[in-house]
Structure 1
Amino acid sequence: MLRWIMHIDLDAFFASIEQRDHPEWQGRPLVVGAAPSQRGVVATCSYEARRYGVRSAMPISQASQRLPDDAVYVRPRMAHYAAVSKQIMAALETISPVVEQASVDEAYLDVSGLERLIGPPGTIGRQAKRLIKHTVGLTASVGIGPNRLIAKLASEYRKPDGLMAVHPNEVQAFLDPMPISALRGIGPRTAPTLRQMGLERMVDIRQADPALLEKRLGLRLARAIISQAYGRGSDQVQPHSVRQSISKATTFEQDIVDPVRLRETLLWAAQEVGRPARREGLQGTTITLKIRLGNFKTLTRQRKLPAPTADDTVFYRQAWALYQESALAGKPVRLLGLGLSGWQHNAPSQGDLFDERPGPPEHVQTPRRVRLFQALDGISNKFGQNAITLGLRRKR
């Protein structure tokens, strides 16, 4: 039996929900994020806004300069988007029982064997699109292929509202004309290196000397890129799988040495990790700091916590301590990130267990701190992730 994996990607998900809920905004450039008068970035935007060169993570000030006066700016409604996502995932389970939600707006389905019940892959994809449209009134782009990589690339191929099925004997013809930017793992330094080698398309990667690629990129990255160029990928879909870790990282436009900027970035990453952990009832015991230096060398450092927690300040303090202990101060940083793992689900707070044994303040998950983060999460869910954040205590 042929393996068929389907990838579903909602089109401009947050923006499309806002236009659905406000018909008067349809057809107009729409930005989900901060207002033009505020500091912040674009969370996502409608396809009308993308025609002006606006994209996710662009500073709002820059986006507002590109957009016309009739553009719409709305604050994110994360709880509402999550509720719509839940409706979509429940609907997809009526097509296949094997559904893996990859993010709030995308999922993988194992549709192997459904040809006898529904029809060929294209027919299955059209049914999924109709179901989503009927359930929530939104469009989705669908890709189907023999593995996750091909399915994902196929869903991106004809966005928005696209559908593409790639049969196993069509994989190479599908991949070869693609630009190297379609490869996963290609960063701002890797793409120019490949182009300097005369490699512009997938077919160029496939025909290149593997030894030369390994020399220029390193063994691990070179092999990963070559594998993608041949269309190799996992064909496993894991429904309701528990994530192994939560992480957040950012790549700076210019290498950073300023410790205040690095601390602010780690605090932001800690909050981006803490929110989903608390939402999913997870408490972690391992903090991971990830640093990519200006010379593209990537380092990770880990620390085991004495007790599980979902406290943003703990994540930040431990990550900053790891940085200070790493002897990297003063070295240009290209990428900085923070990760949490080692789950204990809904673990009892250490404050309740060890009230008679005082420990470091950051390790005590007191009821007061639990209520604090419940309040912060409630504000973020209602008004957007940037509505309220923790701040750094400045030294005087």
Structure 2
Amino acid sequence: MHIDLDAFFASIEQRDHPEYQGRPLVVGAKPGKRGVVATCSYEARRYGVRSAMPISEAVRRLPPETVYLRPSMTRYGEVSRQIMQALEGISPAVEKVSVDEAFLDISGMQRLIGPPEVIGRRAKSVILEGVGLTASVGIGPNRLIAKLASDFRKPDGLTIVLADQVQAFLDPQPLTILRGLGAKSAPVLQRIGLRTVADVRRLSLLELRRHLGDLAGTKIHEQAHGIASDRVHLDSERKSISKETTFNEDITDPEIVRDTLHWAAQEVGYIARQEGRRGSIVTVKIRFQGFETHTRSRTLTTPTSTDKEIFQQAWELYQSEQWVGRPVRLVGLGVSGWASDAAKAAEQADLFDEITADHAPKQERLYQTMDAVSDKFGRKSVRFGVRRRKE
């Protein structure tokens, strides 16, 4: 079962501020500033606004009554923890994918709770009753089908796809639902007359590899046939924390890439701190036209979970390549290589010593203090920004 909260950040704001309900609402950068949309309400999505869209473009599309808010990650994280705890009452195997998504292994739960529809409605009910938010739920024989099913009837949807229904579910859908087949690679298949998943399935593995390359062709072939992992990884097994986003249009302005990396670092760093993790490997993922994708990683001498350090390393990785000025379709950032608990316990530092890249534990303690201030006085009261380069 895949759980996906509906417009999570925006829904929390509308829940906590009744005066925002029914109005377009954007969480992310403020108008007049550089930055992107973190998320937006469904009222804003009717105007074509999406996550990771430059805020300047969102402002051009949205009406004057739109509400613009900066993210309050501490508050959102607390709601996320409440949701995950509630889901553990349904299944002991809960994999938190992000602050607003989770996979649950519900095999064997039929005897305790009931058939899949009853389990799905139970999940939606515990979330609504516990935190006052709606979620879309998908149930299927593997991760791919469960995820696509949760997207199928958003918002507040419930879709169940049994094993013998997989091809009937996939075949009529547009080929663009397949993961990894984006706005630049999809036309490669559309030019040869393919429009639906059923069309893709009629191509052999060899033909797909010829059109898309070996890796992408194999991946799309498996997805079109409903083949994917059915394993739910417990939090203790998490290998990495990552965040990526695809732009509606190719981005050539490096400042927008920089803002997006900064936003992703805040997302990744926050989740890492909430889970008590520190990583020693920072990875940047960049996708250009024609599905051309590159990843670059850097190993740190001292593991970290601080937004500032993660962002600095990611931005330096991006600048170190010949990427600046090339049209970017996707930006991703991840952290992995977790420090052991023993290593964490062995490291001590003073809070107000000089903050440098060589003193990551000191930065982490500073973030703890900043989070405490934010909890008491609000998320906007203290935070790190991005220093702008002078023209």
TM-score by length of 2: 0.83
Matches within 5 A, 1:71-86: 71-86=66-81
Q: Which runs of 5+ in 2 are unaligned?
A: 351-355
Taking the aligned partners of 2:258 and 2:4, their CA distance within structure 1 comes to 34
Alpha carbons of structure 1 residues 351 and 301: separation in structure 2 relative to 1, 3 Å: farther
Alpha carbons of structure 1 residues 96 and 297: separation in structure 2 relative to 1, 3 Å: closer
Q: 2:177 aligns with which of 179, 182, 192?
A: 182
Matches within 5 A, 1:91-130: 91-130=86-125
Q: 2:240 aligns with which of 242, 245, 257?
A: 245
Alpha carbons of structure 1 residues 156 and 248: separation in structure 2 relative to 1, 3 Å: closer
Q: Give the aligned partner of residue 357 of structure 1.
A: none
Taking the aligned partners of 2:225 and 2:143, their CA distance within structure 1 comes to 13
Taking the aligned partners of 1:57 and 1:386, their CA distance within structure 2 comes to 23
What one-letter code is carried by the residue in structure 2 that aligns with 1:240?
Answer: D
Cα offsets for 1:76-122 (capped at 9, x unmatched) = 22211211121111112222222222221121112222222322211
Q: 1:204 aligns with which of 196, 199, 204?
A: 199
Q: Give the aligned partner of residue 3 of structure 1.
A: none
Alpha carbons of structure 1 residues 311 and 148: separation in structure 2 relative to 1, 3 Å: closer
Report the CA distance between 1:210 and its aligned residue: 2.3
Q: Give the aligned partner of residue 28 of structure 1.
A: 23
Report the CA distance between 1:227 and its aligned residue: 0.8
Alpha carbons of structure 1 residues 149 and 134: separation in structure 2 relative to 1, 3 Å: same
When structure 1 is superposed on structure 2, of 28-37 and 10-19 the one drifting more is 28-37
Q: 2:40 aligns with which of 45, 69, 82?
A: 45
Report the CA distance between 1:310 and its aligned residue: 3.8
Q: Give the match's secondary structure for 1:100.
A: strand
What one-letter code is carried by the residue in structure 2 that aligns with 1:192?
Answer: P
Q: 1:332 aligns with which of 326, 331, 337?
A: 326
Q: Give the match's secondary structure for 1:342.
A: strand
Q: Give the aligned partner of residue 386 of structure 2.
A: 390
Taking the aligned partners of 1:318 and 1:33, their CA distance within structure 2 comes to 22
Taking the aligned partners of 2:349 and 2:9, their CA distance within structure 1 comes to 39
Q: Give the match's secondary structure for 1:32.
A: strand
TM-score by length of 1: 0.82
Report the CA distance between 1:311 and its aligned residue: 5.1
Q: Which runs of 5+ in 1 are unaligned?
A: 1-5, 354-360
Report the CA distance between 1:315 and its aligned residue: 4.5
What one-letter code is carried by the residue in structure 2 that aligns with 1:332?
Answer: R
Q: Give the aligned partner of residue 172 of structure 1.
A: 167
Taking the aligned partners of 1:251 and 1:386, their CA distance within structure 2 comes to 29
Cα offsets for 1:205-260 (capped at 9, x unmatched) = 1111321210111111111111111111221112323431234456674464x877
Alpha carbons of structure 1 residues 90 and 231: separation in structure 2 relative to 1, 3 Å: same
Matches within 5 A, 1:133-144: 133-144=128-139
Alpha carbons of structure 1 residues 388 and 149: separation in structure 2 relative to 1, 3 Å: same
Q: Give the aligned partner of residue 226 of structure 1.
A: 221
Larger of the two Rg values belongs to structure: 1
Taking the aligned partners of 1:90 and 1:262, their CA distance within structure 2 comes to 35
Alpha carbons of structure 1 residues 324 and 208: separation in structure 2 relative to 1, 3 Å: same
Report the CA distance between 1:11 and its aligned residue: 1.4
Q: Give the aligned partner of residue 150 of structure 2.
A: 155
Matches within 5 A, 1:225-374: 225-249=220-244, 253-254=249-250, 256=252, 270=265, 272-292=267-287, 296-310=291-305, 314-315=309-310, 318=313, 328=322, 332=326, 334=328, 335=330, 337-345=332-340, 347=344, 362-365=357-360, 367=362, 369-370=363-364, 372-374=366-368
When structure 1 is superposed on structure 2, of 77-86 and 55-64 the one drifting more is 55-64
Report the CA distance between 1:145 and its aligned residue: 1.2
Taking the aligned partners of 1:38 and 1:68, their CA distance within structure 2 comes to 18
Alpha carbons of structure 1 residues 166 and 292: separation in structure 2 relative to 1, 3 Å: closer
Identity %: 56
What one-letter code is carried by the residue in structure 2 that aligns with 1:390?
Answer: V
Q: Give the aligned partner of residue 358 of structure 1.
A: none
